[in-house]
Amino acid sequence: MDFKRPELVSLSSQSEYDEIIMKFANDLVLNDKDGNSLVFDDGVTSEDSVDLAIPVQTQVNPDSQSTQNLGDASDTAQTTSAIVMIIQFGLTYTLNTGLSAFWGLINSQQNVAYMPIMNVQHPGPVTFYLETLVEIATFDPIPVDIVYEATGLFDFQWTAAEPSREPFTRIGVDRVMVNTLGSMIIALVQVAFSQATVMLLGCFTFNHFVRKIYRLVKIDGSLKPIMILFMLEGYIDLLIGALLNTENDYLFLVADNWGPNGNLNYSDQFTVLLGNFFYFSCIMFPVVVFWVLRHRTNQYGFMLNADRANFNSNYDCLYDGFKHQKSGLLNYYSVYMIRRVTFVAVCFIFWEEQYTLVQVVANIGISFLFVTYLVEYRPFSDPQINNLEIINEYAYVLLSIHQLCFTDFAAGAEVKNIAGWSFVFFAILNLLFPNLFLVLYSMYPDIRVLLSCKRDTAEPIQRGNMTDEEYRAYMDERRHALVRKYNFKLRSEFLEDGVDDTSIRPKKNQIEPMPAKVMTLYENRTDQMDNRRRVKHMVKRPDAKKMQDLEMSEITEGSYEIDISEEERKKDSSREGYYF
Per-residue pLDDT reduced to its tens digit, 321-348: 898 888 888 999 999 999 999 999 999 9
Q: What is the pLDDT of residues 521-559, one digit of tens each?
A: 445 555 445 444 444 334 344 444 444 444 443 433 333
First and final CA of the chain: distance in angstroms?
80
Mean per-residue pLDDT for 227-249?
91
Q: What is the pLDDT of residues 114-136, one digit of tens each?
A: 999 999 888 888 988 888 888 77
239-248, 413-422, 522-531: which has the highest mean pLDDT? 239-248
The answer to whether 337 and 395 are in contact (CB under 8 A) is: no
Q: How far is CA 209 from CA 124, 194, 497, 561, in A?
A: 61, 17, 44, 50
Q: Which residues contact 233 (CB under 8 A, 6 or more apart)?
A: 103, 106
Where do runs of H (alpha helix) occur along 431-562? Answer: 437-452, 468-486, 516-528, 544-549
Q: What distance in Å separates the CA atoms of residue 375 and residue 386, rounded to the nearest whole number?
A: 8
DSSP-derived secondary structure letter, 433: I
> H or E stretch including 100?
helix 100-113
Chain centroid to CA 213: 30
Q: What is the pLDDT of residue 162?
A: 87
Predicted structure pTM score: 0.71
Mean per-residue pLDDT for 476-495?
57
Q: What distance in Å separates the CA atoms of residue 312 and residue 525, rounded to the nearest whole number?
A: 26
Tell which residue, 61, 183, 77, has the closest CA to residue 130.
77
Tell which residue, 109, 126, 115, 121, has the closest CA to residue 67.
126
Q: What is the β-pairing status of strands 18-25 and 49-56?
A: antiparallel
Tell which residue, 389, 307, 385, 373, has the closest CA to residue 334.
373
Q: How far is CA 136 from CA 49, 79, 181, 222, 391, in A?
A: 47, 9, 16, 31, 20
The answer to whether 333 and 285 are in contact (CB under 8 A) is: no
Q: Prior bond to 6 cis, omega within 30?
A: no
What are the φ and ψ backbone dihedral angles of 175, each rounded to 5 degrees? -85, 5
Q: Which residues contact 210 (CB under 8 A, 6 or more apart)?
A: 201, 204
DSSP-derived secondary structure letter, 328: G
Q: What distance in Å separates the CA atoms of residue 249 and residue 273, rounded to the nearest whole number?
A: 10
